[in-house]
Amino acid sequence: MTAPLRRARPRCATIAPRLAIALCVALLAGCHSGAPRAWRLTDVRGHLPDLRFRLVGGAGRTVTASDFRGENVLLYFGYTHCPDECPLTMTHLHRVMVDLGPLAARVRILFVSVDPARDTPQVVQEYAAAFDPRAVGLTGDMAEIDSLAKRYRVAFERGPDLPGGGYEVTHGSAIYVFDARGRARLLASPADTDGDIAHDLKMLIGTEGSR
C-alpha cells in the first residue's frame, strides 16, 4: 500500500521520547564499544527483558508472547489514528519483510496499540495487516498496555481534544527486535534503514540456524 505523505513536522512522537530513545541508544552502544560490532542496529542483549505480555488479538482471543516462540519478533507501539509516524514505520517494516524474501516466514511484526479506547481488536488487526500479512495487531485494557510499555521503557501520552474532534497520542518510535526464544536482542530507531534491519534479521536468523 502507499504510505501517506509525511507532514513537515511529525506530530506523533514528542521531542522528549525521541531524546530518551537517543540517550538509551547511546548508553547501550557504549556498553558494547569494547567488542567488535557486526550488528548495524543497537545490541541490547542483556539490557532489556524477554518478550512477555498478555493482550487481545484480532479475533478477540487472548494472545501471549509464547504464541510467537520460534519466530523473530519486531515489536512496535503505535495507534491506528496516528497521522504520520505509525504508517511510515509500518510501511518501513513491510519493506524489511520484502527484503528478507523467504526468511520473512520466520519473522512476525507485532503492532501494539497505545490507544485501546479507540483501537478495538478488529480495528487494530485490520490496520496492521493492511501493511503486511505477517503483522499482528494487539490491544488490551489500559493497565495491560501501560505495563507492557513500562517493561520496554516506552513513553506515551494522550493529547488534548482537537478542535475537529478526536485526539492524538504521543509515543516512542523505537522498534524492538526479539529472537526466536523471546530474548530482546536489538533496538532500531527511525534513522535505521530497511537494509540495516533486514541485514541484522538475516544475521540473527542465521545464528539461530547454526545452533
How do the domains of the chain map onto residue ranges?
15-210
C-alpha cell at 195: 537494509
pLDDT(4) > 50: no
pLDDT(17) > 70: no
Q: How far apart are the first and last CA of the chain?
A: 37
Residue 13: which pLDDT band, with cuts at 50, 70 and 90? very low
The C-alpha atoms of residue 144 and residue 168 are separated, in whole angstroms, by 20
Q: Identify the pLDDT of residue 35.
A: 42
54-80 per-position pLDDT tens digit: 999 998 999 999 999 999 999 999 999
Compute the mean pLDDT over every residue in the chain, rounded to the nearest whole number. Answer: 86
Is the dihedral angle over the CA atoms 141, 142, 148, 154 positive or is it negative?
Answer: positive
Structure-model confidence comparison of residues 19 and 98, the more confident one: 98
CATH fold of 15-210 reads Glutaredoxin (3.40.30)
Q: Identify the pLDDT of residue 185.
A: 98
Q: What is the mean pLDDT of residues 101-121?
A: 97
The angle subtended at Cα 172 by Cα 54 and Cα 137, nearest 5°, is 40
User: Which of 93, 83, 79 is closest to 190 using CA atoms?
Assistant: 93
Q: What is the mean pLDDT of residues 80-96?
A: 96
pLDDT(44) > 70: yes
Contacts (Cβ under 8 Å, ≥6 apart) of 4: 83, 84, 87, 88
Percent of the chain with pLDDT over 70: 81
Structure-model confidence comparison of residues 127 and 21, the more confident one: 127
